[in-house]
Structure 1
Amino acid sequence: MSLLSQIGYSGVRATQVALTATGQNVANVNTPGFSRLGVEMGSLSGHTALSSGRGVQVNNIRRIADDFVNRQLWRATSHESFTESQQKYVSALETLMASEGSNISGGLDNFYAALSEATSTPDSIALRQQILNEARNLAQRVNSLSNNIETQLNGLRGQREAIIVELNGLTDNLATLNKRITHVEASNGDAKALRDQRDKLVQDLAELADVRVMEAADGSFNVSLANGQPLVAGPTAATVKLTTLANNHQDFSLDFAGTPFPMARDGWGGQLGGLYEAEYNGLRSTQKTISDIAGEIAALFNGVLADGNAYDLDGDSGLALELFTHTPGSISQVLKVNDLEPKDLAFSSAADEPGNNDKLRDLLALKNQKVTLTIGGVSSSVTLNDAYATLLGGIASQSRQGQADVETAASVLKQAQAQRDSISAVNLDEEGVNLMNYQQAYQANLKVITTAGALFDSVLGMF
Structure 2
Amino acid sequence: MSGNLLSIGKSGLFAAQAGLSTTGHNIANANVAGYNRQTVVQSTAPMMETGVGFIGTGTQIDQIKRYSDEFLNTQVRNAQASKSGLDSYYSQISQIDNMLADQTAGLSPSLQSFFKGVQDMAANRGSVPSRQSMLSSADTLATRFQALDSRLGEIREGINSTIESSITTINSYASQIADLNEKIGTFASAMQRAPNDLLDKRDQLVMELNTQVKATVRPGDNGSLTVSIGSGQPLVVGQRAFELAATKSPTDLTRLEVGYVTGSKVSVLGENALSGGTLGGALEFRSKTLDPAQSALGKVAIGLAFEFNQQHKLGLDQNGAPGGDFFSLAPAYVGKNINNASTSTTKVEAVVSNPAALADSDFKVEFDGTDYQVIRLSDNQKTAYTGAGAAQTIYGVDFKITGTAAKEDNFLVRPTIGGAANFNVLVKDVAGIAAAAPIATSAPVGNTGTAKISEGKVDANFLGGAPALPVTLSFDKASGNLTGFPAGTVRVVDSTGAASTVPSGSVQFKAGSTYTFGGISVTMSGAPGDGDTFKIASNGGGIGDTRNIGLLGDLQTKNIFNNGTATLQSSYAQLVSTVGNKTREVQVNGQAGEALLTQAQAAAQDVSGVNLDEEATNLIKYQQAYQAAGKVMQIAGSIFDTLLSIGR
Q: Letter of the 2:256 partner, please give it.
A: Q
What's the CA shift for 1:110? 0.5
What residue number does 1:440 align with? 624
The structure whose RCO (Cα within 8 Å, separation 6+) is larger is 1
Q: Is the 8 A contact 2:163 2:258 kept in 1?
A: no
1:62-461 matches, cutoff 5 A: 62-188=65-191, 191-245=195-249, 246-256=252-262, 261-269=267-275, 270-307=277-314, 310-318=315-323, 321-328=324-331, 329=333, 330=418, 333-349=421-437, 350-352=539-541, 354-373=543-562, 381-461=565-645
How far apart are residue 326 of structure 1 and its match? 2.0
Q: Which has the higher strand share?
A: 2
Letter in 2 for 1:340: K
- For 2:187, the aligned partner's letter is V
Q: Is the CA contact (8 Å cut-off) linking 2:434 and 2:542 kept in structure 1? A: no
SS in 1 for 2:62: strand
Looking at structure 2, the residues matched to 327 and 257 of structure 1 have their Cα atoms a distance apart, in angstroms, of: 42
- 1 or 2, which has the higher helix percentage? 1
TM-score, structure 1 length as denominator? 0.93
TM-score normalised to the size of structure 2? 0.67
How large is the RMSD of aligned CA atoms in angstroms? 1.9
Task: Describe the superposition over 1:5-54 as per-residue Cα deviations: whole angstroms up to 9, x where unpaired.
Answer: 22111111111111111111111112111111110000123222612311
Greater CA deviation, 260-269 or 61-70?
A: 260-269
Report the Cα distance in structure 2 between the residues aligned to 1:257 and 1:343, rounded to whole angstroms. Answer: 65
Matched position secondary structure for 1:187? helix
Do the aligned partners of residues 46 and 120 (structure 1) sit closer, same or farther apart at CA in structure 2, a change above 3 Å counting?
Answer: closer
Checking the alignment, whether the CA contact within 8 Å between 1:147 and 1:331 is kept in structure 2 is: no
Describe the SS at the equivalent of 1:442.
helix
Structure 1 residues 172-212: Cα deviation after superposition (integer angstroms, max 9, x where no partner)? 11111111110122111662111111111101111111111
Amino acid corresponding to residue 222 of structure 1 in structure 2: T
Q: CA deviation at 1:104?
A: 1.9
Distance 1:461 1:196 in 2: 55
Deviation at 1:332? 7.0
**Per-residue deviation at 1:116?**
1.9
Distance 1:323 1:258 in 2: 52
Q: Which runs of 5+ in 2 are unaligned?
A: 334-417, 438-538
Report the secondary structure of 2:33's partner residue: coil
Secondary structure class of the residue paired with 1:249: strand
What CA deviation, in whole Å up to 9, does each residue of 1:63-119 have, x standing for no partner?
111111111111111101111111111111001112244422211210111122222
Q: Residue 427 of structure 2: SS of its match in structure 1?
A: coil
CA 1:396–1:311: 2 relative to 1, 3 Å: same
Bigger Cα displacement from structure 2, 327-336 vs 286-295: 327-336
Partner letter of residue 272 of structure 2? D
Report if the CA contact (8 A) 1:90-1:282 is conserved: yes
Shift of 1:353: 5.7
From the superposition, tell whether residues 260 and 108 of structure 1 become closer, same or farther in structure 2 (CA, over 3 Å): closer
The answer on whether the counterparts of 2:149 and 2:294 sit within 8 Å (CA) in structure 1 is yes
CA distance in 1, matches of 2:631, 2:19: 18
1:409 is aligned with what amino acid? G
Alpha-carbon distance in structure 2 between the residues aligned to 1:256 and 1:322: 52
Contact 2:43/2:62, CA 8 A, preserved across alignment: yes
- Between the aligned partners of 1:347 and 1:415, the Cα distance in structure 2 is 67
How far apart, in 2, do the equivalents of 1:236 and 1:217 lie? Answer: 13
Matched residue SS, 2:48: coil
Secondary structure, counterpart of 2:223 in structure 1: coil
- What residue in structure 2 maps to residue 35 of structure 1? 36
Residues 325 and 314 of structure 1: CA distance in aligned 2, closer, same or farther (over 3 Å): same
- Deviation string 1:193-234 (CA, Å, 9 cap, x unpaired) is 111111111011111111111112300111101411100100
1:336 is paired with a residue whose SS is coil
Q: CA separation of 1:7/1:420 partners in 2, compared to 1, >3 Å: closer, same or farther?
A: same
Secondary structure of the 1:218 match is: helix
Equivalent residue of 1:366, what SS? helix
In the alignment, the residues of structure 1 paired with residue 640 and residue 542 of structure 2 have an alpha-carbon distance, to the nearest angstrom, of 133
Q: Identity over aligned residues, as a percent? A: 28
* CA distance in structure 2 between the partners assigned to 1:433 and 1:223 by the alignment: 39
Indicate how the Cα distance of structure 1 residues 461 and 62 shifts in structure 2: closer, same or farther if over 3 A, else same.
same
CA distance in 1, matches of 2:269, 2:48: 65
Change over 3 Å in CA distance of 1:86–1:52 after alignment to 2: same
Q: Secondary structure at the match of 1:284?
A: helix
CA distance in 1, matches of 2:428, 2:194: 81
1:157 is paired with a residue whose SS is helix
Question: Which range moves more in the overlay, 101-110 or 139-148?
Answer: 101-110
Q: Which has the larger radius of gyration?
A: 2
- In the TM superposition, what is the alpha-carbon distance from 1:170 to its structure 2 partner? 1.0
Contact 1:122 1:128 in 2 (8 A): no
Contact 1:93 1:149 (8 Å CA) reproduced: yes
Q: Partner residue of 1:376?
A: none
Gap regions ≥5 residues in structure 1: 374-378
Deviation at 1:455, TM superposition (A): 3.2
The aligned length equals: 454
